[in-house]
Amino acid sequence: MKKAVIYTRVSSEEQVKGNSLSEQQLKCRYFIKSKDGDITGVYVDGGRGGETKERPELQRMLEDAKKGIFDAVVVYKIDRLSRSLRDFLEIQDYLANLNVELISVSETYDTSTPQGRLFVNMLGSFAEFEREQIKERINMGQIASMKKGNWKGSPPYGYDVKNKKLAINKKEAEIVKRIFKIFTDNYGSVDRITIKQAQKIVNGWNVPTKRAYDKRFKKTIPNYWHTSSIYSIIKNPIYTGNTFIRKITKNTNPKIDVKKVIRPKSEWIPLSVPQVIADKTFEKCQIVLRKNSEFALRKGKPESETMLNKLVYCSDCGKKFHICNRVSYNQEYKKAVYYCKGIKNPIRERRCYAKSFISTRLEKPLWEKLTEIITRPEVLNKYVNRQLEGETREENQYKTDIQELEQSLQEARLKKERLFNLYISGKNDVVYYKGKEQELTKEEDRFLDKINDLKQSNLLLDGLKRKSLDFGVLYKKLKNNLNLINISYKDKCRITKLLVER
């Protein structure tokens, strides 16, 4: 061994601050000097895990080996080089092909003999086994911490981490409420509020983002909000006070071309945090977003809006009718052909055979009926009042049913917690625990689904009330100059989508 280099590695930043790296390097230096070798370089990967080869100093060392700068690589232990058997064997073969010797200070072996090569492979296998054990212990510790309500990672906007738990940041929470209000004020209206429009409003407030003063994001403009930041806030259920964590995991299936996948519901961990907005506000916001998606004018199709587009449903298969063959007259009135989306189903057995129809066949009689309602508001008021009387009774029933289901859900969760405590204390075996835990999880999911369905129905009732109020505003605007004969097609579309749900 004439020319040798030292490679050292530790996994965490805490170890970097400690003496582990210097101790490894010191023992490697003593070893090389005892063999009368010269130290030509030291490669240090601090805070890097051994499960991958993607480490800057390791890659630099492999590149230098190709240049013939040294004859041997000295490590304190084999697992410092890699904790993956496959990666270790690849590195070993790579160095052997370049006539570079791999030496471990702690483990003595001779790779020139079959016994030595077997011993090295065994060391690599043990290193990989140890890595898997460490990973499992860390995961168990993190899961236990999450079940106690502790937060892992950076907090979402509106919260700070105090004593490992989320606490409300009052200034940021007010901004969150204002962002949600932008969308909920638009609930039940045909005037869409898009994420892009909301972005302009929020940037006009001149408030800092979460990353504004974070040193890790030096290039971030403090008061500039991206659309993705606003979208992540209004789609995050954590602001309602109850959410699930540990829902996403890395994809290990090579057949699926995505980086992350959703875990099974049984592996999700419920988390309760201080509430920023009401459940109803969040659900209203989700309905507004869904309506935005349904009635959005797609890129490249600026003239795709018609009176009943995405409001007509097929009576055979239940899918929406879409439009094709749009024809414009005097840049005002349009004639289109409506067709069922189900006719394009590639599976013959599921294909729909509903006939297409020209838009005038439905739009003309519908508009005549709507004109009668608009010119005679007492007809609409009578209908709406009759509907709302029944809906008030239904709404009260919905609230009672939701309260009963939430109580049953709480009881199921308490049973699950008691079962876990009995298992921890050793009174139940693992087979009984897993079987019973799966039953309780299914019961919990069933209650959650029923609660969500009832809340959704309740919101639809609320939507009709809001639509009635919106119509009143619209009528007041039009009553002074209500010329429904020469009304533009665009205004016809707006009024129709305000009054017609489906």
**The residue count for the chain:** 502
**What does 358-424 look like in DSSP terms, one character per residue?**
ETHHHHHHHHHHHHHHHH-HHHHHHHHHHHHHHHHHHHHHHHHHHHHHHHHHHHHHHHHHHHHHHHH
pLDDT at 137: 76
Tokens at residue 264, please? 């099974």
pTM: 0.51
**What does 298-321 look like in DSSP terms, one character per residue?**
-TT-TT---TTTTT-B-TTT-PBE
Q: What is the pLDDT along the chain (502 residues), one digit of tens a residue?
A: 678 999 998 876 545 444 578 888 888 888 888 888 888 899 988 877 777 788 889 999 999 998 888 988 898 887 888 877 778 778 888 888 888 888 888 877 656 567 666 776 776 677 667 767 777 777 777 778 788 888 888 888 989 989 888 899 999 999 999 999 988 887 656 566 888 888 899 989 988 888 776 666 556 677 888 888 898 999 888 999 888 888 888 877 777 777 788 888 778 888 888 999 988 888 888 878 877 765 555 543 444 567 777 778 888 887 877 777 655 544 444 567 777 878 877 777 778 888 877 777 788 888 887 777 777 666 666 666 665 565 555 566 767 777 788 888 888 878 877 777 777 777 777 777 778 878 888 888 788 877 777 766 666 556 555 555 455 555 555 554 456 667 777 777 777 776 676 6
DSSP 206: T
Is the separation of the CB atoms in 304 and 490 below 8 Å?
no
50-79 exposure pattern, b = at least 16 Cβ within 10 A, e = fewer: bbebebebbeebbebbeeeebbbbbbbebb
pLDDT at 95: 87
Using CA atoms of 345, 351, 353, 359 in order, give the dihedral in degrees to the nearest 10.
-30
Cα gap 48→50, rounded to integer Å: 7
Give the pairing type, strands 101-104 and 72-75.
parallel
Cα gap 322→302, rounded to integer Å: 15
Is the separation of the CB atoms in 43 and 9 below 8 Å?
no
pLDDT at 483: 61
pLDDT at 469: 47
- CB-based burial of residue 408 (10 Å sphere; 0-12 exposed, 13-18 middle, 19+ buried)? middle
pLDDT at 90: 81
Cα gap 9→96, rounded to integer Å: 21
Query: Quick one: residue 318, left, alpha or beta (phi over 0 = left, psi -120 to 50 = alpha)?
Result: left
3-state secondary structure of 215: coil
Q: Name the one residue in this structure whose structure tokens are 């409506």.
A: 338
pLDDT at 478: 52
pLDDT at 177: 92
